[in-house]
Structure 1
Amino acid sequence: MTVLGSLSRRAADLQEYMDDPACDRRRLDATYARFRLVNRIVAGWRGIYRDHIRPRLSDTMPSTLLDLGCGGGDVARSLATWAAHDGLQLAVTAIDPDERAYEFASRQPGPPVVYRQASSADLVAEAARFDVVVSNHVLHHLDREELAAFFFDSELLCRGIALHGDIRRSRLAYAAYSLGSLPIARGSFIRDDGLTSIRRSYTAKELRATAPLGWEVEERPMFRNLLIHRER
């Protein structure tokens, strides 16, 4: 079966190199560093901030935001930067259970962001709550049981809105990324893991069938799914 042909089904059995605890650390750090460029081009968080986050923020009342599975931390830093630029009060916390991601993210310059090596379950155990809960490119990494726990924890941690952005699998997305990632791929996992991510990701229909009651799927540009839960 060709790779393009296999895109008709989600390839949940594939593993990304960066998920291997024994992977090359230099290539992993290079991958984290290049997430900033890739996410800026394809992840669409500027639009998500404009449409879903900024309307909930205030210039006088502080709000809180949690980034689950923050990786290199670039999305958390971007959200903090945009809110500050707009004169809005937003305290951002970014967590990742992977020590390597935490170490990389916490070394990066930028706006004030609280980084922690922790899981969503850890924060649930602390009875923590946030006005906004987000994640980027986390959903496709999780198996069925982990995904159910992730949704459950998100609801417990959220007192406003949860926004989980991920890739929407398609042949066109695979072909476009295969070519577009070539110039930045050297010395990193950014291309190989990105293509694996596309194969592991959900179509909008699959995600709607997977998400619990009360969650909605919004199809966004650049082959993106946005899974949304609003606390009522």
Structure 2
Amino acid sequence: MNRYKHRAYNEELMDDLTAGGPSMDQTLRELETINRWLGGNFVTIDGLVKLLKKSPSRPLVIADLGCGGGDILKLVARWASKKKLEVELVGFDANPHIIEYAKENCKEFKNIRFEVQDIFSEEFKQREFDIILCTLFTHHFTEKQLTGIFRQFKSQAKIGVVINDLHRHPLAYHSIKLLVNLFSKSEMVKNDGPLSVLRAFKRKELVQLMNDAEIDRFTLQWMWAFRWQLVF
């Protein structure tokens, strides 16, 4: 059977919201390095550029869901500074240990803050932002969950949403497996890196999710390295 034909639903070690300590810190450090090496973070910045074709006339509130160690928000903060854009950046994660790491990791940035929050909670559903970012986050959910999440985003994001996630492909799987086995010191990274590719998406699956969520205006682009950029 072709293991890449359908999405996998095995839970990653990082899905354990009680996970923390030195092993989690090591994992977050390595993930920031891996994403920087492979150039995948550019996908999120490019999505922001597409949404902000005109310079905003007011400060923007940008939310990063499943923010991890805050590396994407640091990237956005630096990008906004160069563009002379005033932004308020808020990172959300359901794991309090990750949020504590992120606060320390981003302490030099005065316009970044973090909250422990479950995006399925009624409290979170009442929140509004200008832009919502999801980087390597959506593959953690089932299609049914994602349909609801995307519908929710339509009412929460005033300007738009940028999804940056993985393309399920054998070359992506074997490449990340080789990379983490050679260089990673984190058992979580060694387990979750290849598994995240198996949980990821093919183009037709993302298009179907947009249809199911009744979102007809979106762009979907394949970008290096084996990333999908979904903007709506």
1:111 corresponds, among 106, 109, 112, to: 109
Match of 1:218 in 2: 221
Q: For residues 63-93 of structure 1, what are the alpha-carbon distances to aligned partners after superposition, in whole Å with 9 as ceiling and x for unaligned? A: 1211011111111111112111332211111
Contact 2:66 2:91 in 1 (8 A): yes
Matched, 1:52 2:48: yes
In 1, Cα distance between equivalents of 2:169 and 2:178: 15
Unaligned runs of at least 5 residues, structure 2? none
Q: Which amino acid aligns with 1:158?
A: A
Aligned to 1:190: 189
What fraction of aligned residue pairs are identical, expressed as a percent?
23
* 1:8 paired residue number: 5
Amino acid at match of 1:115: F
> CA 1:99/1:51 → structure 2, altered by over 3 Å: closer, same or farther?
closer
How many residues matched?
Answer: 223
- Per the alignment, residue 166 of structure 2 pairs with 167
CA contact (8 A) 2:4 2:170 kept: yes
In 2, are the aligned partners of 1:163 and 1:227 still within 8 Å (CA)?
yes
What residue identity is the alignment partner of 1:165? N
The two structures, once aligned, show a CA RMSD in angstroms of: 2.2
Q: Distance in 2 between matches of 1:75 and 1:39?
A: 10
- Residue 43 of structure 1 contacts residue 165 of structure 1 at CA under 8 Å; is this kept in 2? no
Look up the match of 2:15: 19
CA contact (8 A) 1:59 1:87 kept: no
1:89 to 1:22, Cα distance in 2 relative to 1, 3 A: closer
Looking at structure 2, the residues matched to 139 and 160 of structure 1 have their Cα atoms a distance apart, in angstroms, of 19
CA contact (8 A) 1:65 1:91 kept: yes
1:32 pairs, out of 22, 28, 32, with 28
- Aligned equivalent of 2:198: 199
Q: Distance in 2 between matches of 1:48 and 1:28?
A: 24
| Residue in 1 that maps onto 2:75 | 78
SS at match of 2:42: helix
Tell me the CA shift for residue 24 of structure 1: 6.3
Deviations 1:113-135 (A, max 9, x none): 0101113343322xx32221101
SS at match of 1:104: helix
| Structure 1 letter corresponding to 2:220 | V
Deviations 1:77-113 (A, max 9, x none): 1111211133221111111122122121112134230
- In structure 2, do the counterparts of structure 1 residues 22 and 221 end up closer, same or farther at CA, with 3 Å as the change threshold? same
Instruction: Say which SS state the counterpart of residue 94 (structure 2) adopts.
Output: coil
Instruction: State the distance in 2 between where 1:145 and 1:154 align.
Output: 15
Residue 210 to residue 51, structure 1, CA distance change in 2 (3 Å): closer
- Go from structure 1 to structure 2 and tell me whether the alpha carbon gap of 1:28 and 1:183 turns closer, same or farther (over 3 Å shift): same
Give the Cα–Cα distance (whole angstroms) in 2 for the partners of residues 150 and 133 of structure 1: 12
